[in-house]
Amino acid sequence: MHVPLWVWLATVAGITALFVFDFVFHVRKPHEPSFKEAAAWSCVFIAIAMAFGAGLWWVWGAQHGAEYFAGFITEKSLSVDNLFVFVIIMSKFAVPRIHQQKALLIGIVIALVMRGIFIAVGAAAIHQFSWVFYIFGAFLLWTAYKLGKESFEDSDEEEEYRPNLAVRLVQRWLPVTNEYHGKNLLAKVDGKRVVTPLFMVIVALGFTDLLFALDSIPAIYGLTREPYIVFTTNAFALLGLLQLYFLLGGLLSRLVYLGLGLSVILGFIGVKLVLEALHENTLPFINGGHPIESIPEIPIWLSMTIIVGALVVTGVASLLKDRHDRARA
């Protein structure tokens, strides 16, 4: 579908306004959100995402509307899985609860900007080279395998956080203090300007989410080829991530089968991408460089059914296992 420039600009402006509102309303005054507050605002942001999808469905038709909802559900699910790592980062840096909102939101904004660049590059690559789908598909299948393998490996050891490349570079090139200075990202120590641990946390969160985009963006391109839908599903999935972090809290540790469900989803989308690549094949060593038109196309309704089904089954199974374990204990 052709999306006019003014629609792109209006969408970016609207999403920016929502992030600014989120920052001003929730972050300007440091506090730890209550369960009620986190739940209420989670519902608000999900409702906004649903209303946007309904409007897109009405304007551009059922096909694009279904692609948006399938993509949003997938991105939201992957974002929940990312929260496990965010919890580890917050714990490692011992971030005070009242300042965690600021670190999360700024890190999420940085991640969204970088994801926007990834989305544009991916769209250009797909437009020029249809064989990119082979790479996306293979990468998702490998990611699905790793997630599935990790889900079946029982480990009682707490996952450790290792500083990523961005954090190591900041620690190497900038003066860093180990003490928090309220909500400040920079501070003066002995007359010298230094970066605080809160600054380091934001760098860690932003770069970590960028790494997560390496599987989430190919996954969404497996459901739609429209960069507009890819961008908006990513934006709305990240928008409510701050509230989900505080809402889910201890529930994250109970979602023991979430990784397995995501493994099924990513594996399915990986297969879908490979089938689409074969259907539009241009590689000379496959079928003489001609498309394999006999390859079936997977309809969006089937994609939606498998995505929702995998999440429902693994979610219910996780809660049942948690209840069983608590009863035994």
CA neighbor of 52 nearest in space, from 69, 71, 38: 69
Confidence (pLDDT) at 61: 92
C-beta of residue 250 within 8 angstroms of C-beta of residue 69: no
Question: What's the predicted TM-score (pTM) here?
Answer: 0.84
Contact between 278 and 295 under an 8 Å Cβ cutoff? The reply is yes
Other Cβ atoms closer than 10 A to 247: 20
Confidence of residue 156 (pLDDT cuts 50, 70, 90): very low
Q: How far apart are the first and last CA of the chain?
A: 55
* Average model confidence (pLDDT) across the chain: 85
**Residue 218 · residue 139 · CB < 8 Å:** yes
Nearest by Cα to 101 from 179, 31, 181, 195: 31
C-alpha to C-alpha distance for 280 and 314, rounded to whole angstroms: 34
* pLDDT band, residue 250 (cuts 50/70/90): low
